[in-house]
Amino acid sequence: METIIVNPTQNEFVDFNSVNNTEQELNTIILEKNEVLNRSSILPQTPAKEQKLEDVPVFGFNYDAMDKKAFFDQFGVEFIPSDLSTKKIIKHMYETKIRCGASGDDLPTIEEPFYIVDLSEVLRQVQTWRQELPRVTPFYAIKCNPNPYFLRVLEKLGCGFDVASRDEIECVKQVLPNNDELAQRCIYANPCHPISHVKYASTSGVQLTTADNVDELYKLKKYWPDAQIVIRIKTDDSHSVCQFSTKFGAELGVAFEMVDIIKDLGLNLVGVSFHVGSGCNDVNSFLKAIRDARAVFDYGFKVLNKKLWLLDLGGGWQGRSNEHGNAAFISVARTIKPLLDELFPVNSGVKIIAEPGRYIAHSTHTLVTSIFSRRIEKSRVLYYIYEGVYHSFNCLIFDHAEPEIKHISYEELISDNVKDEVEERVGHTDKPVTLYGSTCDSMDVILKDSHNIPNCLECGDVLFVELFGAYTIAAGTSFNGFKLAKIHYIARID
């Protein structure tokens, strides 16, 4: 992935290669305590001897007291006032491009798309997580967006990492080169492993991995016999944007069978994981999965005569929205917390982790691109932009995304002032808009016959999409010779 930052001192580009409650309203909600079985007689009351996550730094920072400017200085970001609107930041970015030597409307440095990536948003999201789920350590799902700056920030904040392949392990080793740290702060959470990846993981320093079927246990016995195994159970993900239980997860009966086989093979079972599906919209999916995980803990204690010590809540955590902030996440967190405390008490010795991806990355990215061609037909208006489904808009296909596309006129962009409110031009009656990507593929369509953007835009006008950091650029390509958007890093600091 090609990235770009601006050196704020030299002003030059440097290449590096649905809830209705607001957060405030949620503070007044009284959550009903979930009725659960009393399992005090079999809950482990002291940490298990084999526990490996004991020394993991859990949010080892004080958000209010930390020197945020000094923290982000090490990443070479440009500091932006926190109250500056996205439109004004975009205008500033274009002015910076011109100062760096670009001139004229047709230069690639002006036309090509770029991302504005706010690293301070990563910090804010982690802080909100810390406030709402202080017992749960986030292991960032790097498949969501493997941005190396994300990994560096999260590492310094004491987070762990969820990886699914050899290459992702190698990415994490760049920020966790010490094998002891890698063992504590990384989980190989793909429950179906290619043999070559298992062999690599077994010598990489990673110790935790998941499995969801009997065949994987025999594979681990042969190629990674000392792995710390976490059984991944199936969940109800019918209310999630992307459903995973059709592909991954063991039914409870299979999970119990796996415990028996783990005993027979002499493998090391340490915990249970689940994943309610990406973009989960139903907290009941979490509640049921937590109860099911407790059942596997109980069966493991009975069969293995030892205490399991790791509960992995997986992914599915909603990202921040412009309208409701983190209300969706906060609602889930405050609903599941009493159940976690009931079934896995603080003194139980059970470590709890989760695998947020979208929650961390979603609100960090704003994509900025421009219209480079336009056709006005009898029944519709066609725009062509320097992005598409082969690039960041692959999320339309793979993530079922419905991004809100906003615009800035070229005249407004080069004027002395930028208005935060949209100024409407006279349109072409009621003609719908079709928005095409830059490639030669006729299926490279972002919007078709839509009235969600004006039909009066012109070549040179800018389109931008906020909240665009999750499952976008991570799966993008350079098909047809159109490269992925470059990246400009900022931090919003008061």
| Residues with catalytic function | 440
| Backbone dihedral angles phi then psi of residue 360, each to the nearest 5 degrees | -80, -45
Per-residue b/e over 370-386, b at no fewer than 16 CB within 10 Å?
bbeebeeeeebbebbbb
Structure tokens at 323: 């309208």
- 235 in helix, strand or coil? coil
Cβ-Cβ contacts under 8 Å for 173 (sequence gap 6 or more): 182, 204, 205
- Dihedral of CA atoms 386, 392, 398, 402 in degrees, nearest 10, equals -80
Structure tokens at 446: 């972002």
Helices (H), 186-236: 195-204, 214-223
Which residues partner with 294 through β-bridges?
none
Contact 176, 238 (CB under 8 A): no
Q: For residue 390, how far is the Cα from the chain centroid?
A: 20
Contact 450, 434 (CB under 8 A): yes
Region for residue 480 given its phi and psi (left: phi exceeds 0; alpha: psi -120 to 50; beta: otherwise): left
Structure tokens at 184: 């504590």
Separation between Cα atoms, residue 465 and residue 390, nearest integer Å: 16
- 75 in helix, strand or coil? coil
Question: Where in 275-336 does DSSP place strands (E)?
Answer: 278-280, 310-312
Contact 410, 462 (CB under 8 A): yes
End-to-end CA distance of the chain: 30
Q: For residue 430, how far is the Cα from the chain centroid?
A: 38
Q: Which element (helix H / strand E) includes 402?
A: none
Contact 271, 234 (CB under 8 A): no
Q: Alpha carbon of 113 to those of 84, 369, 494: distances in Å?
A: 21, 4, 28
Structure tokens at 77: 């970001």
| 32 DSSP 8-state letter | P
Per-residue b/e over 25-57, b at no fewer than 16 CB within 10 Å?
ebeeeeeeeeeeeebeeebbeebbeeebbeebb
Separation between Cα atoms, residue 315 and residue 138, nearest integer Å: 10
